[in-house]
Structure 1
Amino acid sequence: MKMKHDNLYQIYLMTQCLHRLHASRLEASSTMLGFILLFLSTFSPFTSGHASIWHPSMYGFNVTDKTFSYDNRPVTPLMDMTFDQWWFHNHLDYPPNDGDIFELRAGQPATTEIACNKGATSYFASSEGGDIRNGDDVCPGSPPSEYHTTGLSDVKGCALAIAYKSNARDVQPEDFTVFSVNQTCVWTRFTDFHVPERMPTCPDGGCICAFFWIHSPDSGGEQNYMNGFKCNVTDSTSNVALAKPQVPRRCGADPDFGRLTADPGNCTYGAKQPFYWFQKERNNMFEGTYAPPFYLDLYNFKDGAQDDIFVDSYGDIPTPSPNSTVVPTPLVHPTSSGSATSGAPTSGSTATFPLGGAPKSPAVCNLRCTSAYTQRLLGLNVFGRGQKSFSLWHPF
């Protein structure tokens, strides 16, 4: 009799276990379905995610999702593309109108507008959806995950670069020099990029500039953002040329990968190229999927104006190496506001808030799977890396 009762009890336990397993699978299936729908929604041409600078001086300022055979709006991310597709966002055939030039005042901040949709900027009149502005909000009505961040601590910085050529078709990747970085970008619609005081004047016809951004891997895929625009340096007090830009090197503290202190001897000093990463052609960065390059101290990009990018910024720059302990010292050149130097990277970010104070943190939508079982069920953690996009918008 006891054995019979034991068998019945075992059958009861097995039944309960199967019931719970079935319920957990239904829950997991429901969770997976929700993630799938969210994942697929990111491919909609009308998604509000991603970001770009916006300004009439942009190439592709009026490009919509219908202009190309694929979605090539300025906010659409660039990855795994041919050179012609990713370079200038394939917008060279859509130049700005004559006279639309973004002014860069030497020694002053250049205020850009960055948004997920032109309608969220001062240039809403030429957008398809009209005025959807909401103060300093990058993506009105959407959580920060739409512009690839889980919060202010997860932003990875943006850069402006310049080429001293007046014809965009003459510009090559090696011609661009990063002259300003904002380490809290993308976070606010109005974003300041400080211009070095010693920036020389542009040639007749102006210069060619571009906005660059690579976001955190915590809230999106392996995506690059580039938007070119016509620019011109004004109020210049120097005729010293920019040095030839070199490829940046990963040399700052990197705790996510076990490096707790910076390696200053391995840094690139002086003029640096932007990051060209995760494309089919013409990459200058070869970091893996989960270790993207950022415009932070990690690559010796200080927050603000890059004041050491000129041919006379250093007397000599030693070849960087993981084993080197030699750090070059910038030469001091008098300016009206004193000289600024770019030193070795620090263990933490030097970011400042361009509008004078930290913006209020909105609610965070974290898409990463927290259940190990769910991650195994999905096979790949692709849903924490949704294909969202972002672009810089401003009347350059």
Structure 2
Amino acid sequence: MRRSALLSLVVTFLAAREARGHISIWHPSMYGFNVTDKTFPYDNRPVTPLTNYTFDQWWFHGHLDYPPNPGDFFELPAGKPATAEVACNKGLTSYFASSEGGDVRQGDNPCPSDDGSFPSGAMHTVDFNDLKGCALAIAYESDVTKIKPEDFTVFSVNQTCVWTRFTDFQVPARMPACPEDGCHCAWFWVHSQLSGGEQNYMNGFKCKVTGSTSNVALAKPTVPRRCGADPENGKADTVPGNCTYGAKQPFYWFQAERNNMFEGTYAPPFYTDLYNFKDGAQDDIFADSYAEIPTPSADQTIVPTPLEPSSTAAATTSTSSSAPPSAPTSQPTGQVPFGTPPGRCSICKLRRANGTAVRKRSLFNFELYAHSKKARSFSLWHPF
């Protein structure tokens, strides 16, 4: 009897652990805020990574039928930071009351490990220097059914996300107000190729800009180009003319359909200088940010300079058509990197041996297998 009871307890414990892992943004304004591993026929919790999914599965994480309650918005204070909570379990956030496991918070730790080590496997980073950033994007549309992937514009990047639970996203000071019924936003993350398999993350939510003092619309976003210094892939030189400038779309990568990025397994796209995503507010995303943007290419020698904001410029709708020429909708060929990797905290760096695999398990039972550098190969889609 005791053995049977013990076995039952072990099975229950392991099942509970298997139902957790990975990382998501958390806020009541989310679509799928209360989705559990039992809601769908497959595990479609907000923290579940998106890989090789159909459009309906990955778009808004497949949570469009699980909208937030009316009046729930994530506020974006113009010119100030918007503090989000990222974690591998809702119980680790301020919203633990609606979590199945209750309050399991551990300060600013986004995902505690079972052995007390940090970072845990669900964070998908070998160390602080392996972080690849997260982004917030916005679509100035209240009706979620009208939004297309091309409508989202990245307005803020935090290059050290997901290192802490409380994560600041700087909001551009010139963000225009949302429609009366609010905007739609989404959180995006692609982790390091050294720290797990190929995965994309997207979680949509209702949002509203507060304290807006500008009515200048956002420019039409275009596809980011891989243009930053990329020494790991043999690209040490920078070519500024190869970058996408101004408003940029998020990465839609490694899905079964509707991708806008076609990088290979071991060269994923990141929200860093590698794609001209600077840390903080993206202040050049507006319709009047540039007089002209030349077509980017490896041979382009003209680099656009942002204009000083105009006090009289105005526009009636966001994502207006008065934008620079759009970038290609498929992966461009012959790209040459531009930019420098984001600055990293030297005291946070941990030593690791090149070419070795890293295994680590989080408290919520996600085991990390880092790719060996020796195993790298490249897709034909990816020029380097």
Q: TM-score, normalization: structure 1? A: 0.76
Partner of 2:74: 102
**Residue 46 (structure 1) aligned to one of 1, 4, 18:** 18
Work out whether 1:87 is the aligned partner of 2:73.
no
Work out whether 1:172 is the aligned partner of 2:158.
no
How far did residue 231 of structure 1 move?
A: 0.2
Residue type of the alignment partner of 1:156: K
Query: For residues 101-132 of structure 1, what are the alpha-carbon distances to aligned partners after superposition, in whole Å with 9 as ceiling and x for unaligned?
Result: 11101000000000000000000010001111
Provide closer, same or farther for how the CA distance between residues 85 and 365 of structure 1 changes in structure 2, counting only shifts above 3 A. farther
Instruction: State the alpha-carbon separation in 2 of the partners of residues 347 and 146 from structure 1.
Output: 27
Work out whether 1:74 is the aligned partner of 2:46.
yes
Work out whether 1:153 is the aligned partner of 2:129.
yes
Work out whether 1:186 is the aligned partner of 2:172.
no
Query: For residues 327-367 of structure 1, what are the alpha-carbon distances to aligned partners after superposition, in whole Å with 9 as ceiling and x for unaligned?
Result: 001001268xxxxxxxx95323146xxxxxx6985989999
Provide closer, same or farther for how the CA distance between residues 50 and 131 of structure 1 changes in structure 2, counting only shifts above 3 A. same
Partner of 2:370: 384
Partner of 2:86: 114
Provide closer, same or farther for how the CA distance between residues 350 and 366 of structure 1 changes in structure 2, counting only shifts above 3 A. closer
Work out whether 1:268 is the aligned partner of 2:244.
yes
How far did residue 220 of structure 1 move?
A: 0.7
Partner of 1:283: 259
Work out whether 1:230 is the aligned partner of 2:223.
no
Partner of 2:377: none
Residue type of the alignment partner of 2:292: D
Partner of 2:4: none
Partner of 1:209: 185
Partner of 2:217: 241
Instruction: State the alpha-carbon separation in 1 of the partners of residues 20 and 351 from structure 2.
Output: 16
How far did residue 167 of structure 1 move?
A: 1.3
Residue type of the alignment partner of 2:151: D
1:162 alignment partner, SS class: strand
Trace 1:306-345 onto structure 2 (pairs within 5 A). 306-333=282-309
How far did residue 140 of structure 1 move?
A: 2.0
Q: Is this contact kept in 1: 2:176–2:214, CA < 8 A?
A: yes
Instruction: State the alpha-carbon separation in 1 of the partners of residues 137 and 293 from structure 2.
Output: 22
Q: Is this contact kept in 1: 2:357–2:370, CA < 8 A?
A: no
Which structure is higher in helix share? 1
How far did residue 48 of structure 1 move?
A: 3.9
Q: Is this contact kept in 2: 1:150–1:364, CA < 8 A?
A: no
Instruction: State the alpha-carbon separation in 1 of the partners of residues 202 and 355 from structure 2.
Output: 26
Q: Is this contact kept in 1: 2:237–2:338, CA < 8 A?
A: no
Residue type of the alignment partner of 1:177: T
Q: Is this contact kept in 2: 1:261–1:347, CA < 8 A?
A: no
Provide closer, same or farther for how the CA distance between residues 322 and 312 of structure 1 changes in structure 2, counting only shifts above 3 A. same
Q: Is this contact kept in 2: 1:77–1:225, CA < 8 A?
A: yes
Query: For residues 149-185 of structure 1, what are the alpha-carbon distances to aligned partners after superposition, in whole Å with 9 as ceiling and x for unaligned?
Result: 0010000000000000001111100000000000001
Q: Is this contact kept in 2: 1:64–1:73, CA < 8 A?
A: yes
Q: TM-score, normalization: structure 2? A: 0.79
Residue type of the alignment partner of 1:305: A
**Residue 176 (structure 2) aligned to one of 200, 220, 227:** 200
Partner of 1:8: none
Instruction: State the alpha-carbon separation in 2 of the partners of residues 304 and 156 from structure 1.
Output: 13
1:89 alignment partner, SS class: helix
Query: For residues 291-346 of structure 1, what are the alpha-carbon distances to aligned partners after superposition, in whole Å with 9 as ceiling and x for unaligned?
Result: 000000000000000000000000000000011111001001268xxxxxxxx953
Instruction: State the alpha-carbon separation in 1 of the partners of residues 104 and 253 from structure 2.
Output: 33
Query: For residues 205-231 of structure 1, what are the alpha-carbon distances to aligned partners after superposition, in whole Å with 9 as ceiling and x for unaligned?
Result: 000000000000111111000000000
Residue type of the alignment partner of 1:118: K
Find the structure with the greater CA-based Rg: 1
Instruction: State the alpha-carbon separation in 2 of the partners of residues 345 and 58 from structure 1.
Output: 35
Of 107-116 and 326-335, the range deviating more from structure 2: 326-335
How far did residue 234 of structure 1 move?
A: 0.9
Provide closer, same or farther for how the CA distance between residues 283 and 366 of structure 1 changes in structure 2, counting only shifts above 3 A. farther
Instruction: State the alpha-carbon separation in 1 of the partners of residues 19 and 370 from structure 2.
Output: 17
1:217 alignment partner, SS class: coil
Provide closer, same or farther for how the CA distance between residues 216 and 370 of structure 1 changes in structure 2, counting only shifts above 3 A. closer
Partner of 1:55: 27
Quick one: higher RCO (CA 8 Å, sep 6+), 1 or 2? 1
Provide closer, same or farther for how the CA distance between residues 259 and 370 of structure 1 changes in structure 2, counting only shifts above 3 A. same
Report the count of equivalent residues.
322
Residue type of the alignment partner of 2:340: S
2:209 alignment partner, SS class: strand
Provide closer, same or farther for how the CA distance between residues 50 and 135 of structure 1 changes in structure 2, counting only shifts above 3 A. same
Instruction: State the alpha-carbon separation in 2 of the partners of residues 303 and 165 from structure 1.
Output: 26
Instruction: State the alpha-carbon separation in 1 of the partners of residues 353 and 134 from structure 2.
Output: 22
Partner of 1:348: 341
Work out whether 1:125 is the aligned partner of 2:107.
no
How far did residue 146 of structure 1 move?
A: 2.0
Provide closer, same or farther for how the CA distance between residues 363 and 323 of structure 1 changes in structure 2, counting only shifts above 3 A. closer
Q: Is this contact kept in 1: 2:241–2:302, CA < 8 A?
A: yes
Of 59-68 and 325-334, the range deviating more from structure 2: 325-334
Provide closer, same or farther for how the CA distance between residues 245 and 330 of structure 1 changes in structure 2, counting only shifts above 3 A. same
Instruction: State the alpha-carbon separation in 2 of the partners of residues 362 and 346 from structure 1.
Output: 21
Instruction: State the alpha-carbon separation in 2 of the partners of residues 295 and 246 from structure 1.
Output: 15
CA RMSD in angstroms, aligned pairs only: 2.7
Provide closer, same or farther for how the CA distance between residues 202 and 350 of structure 1 changes in structure 2, counting only shifts above 3 A. farther
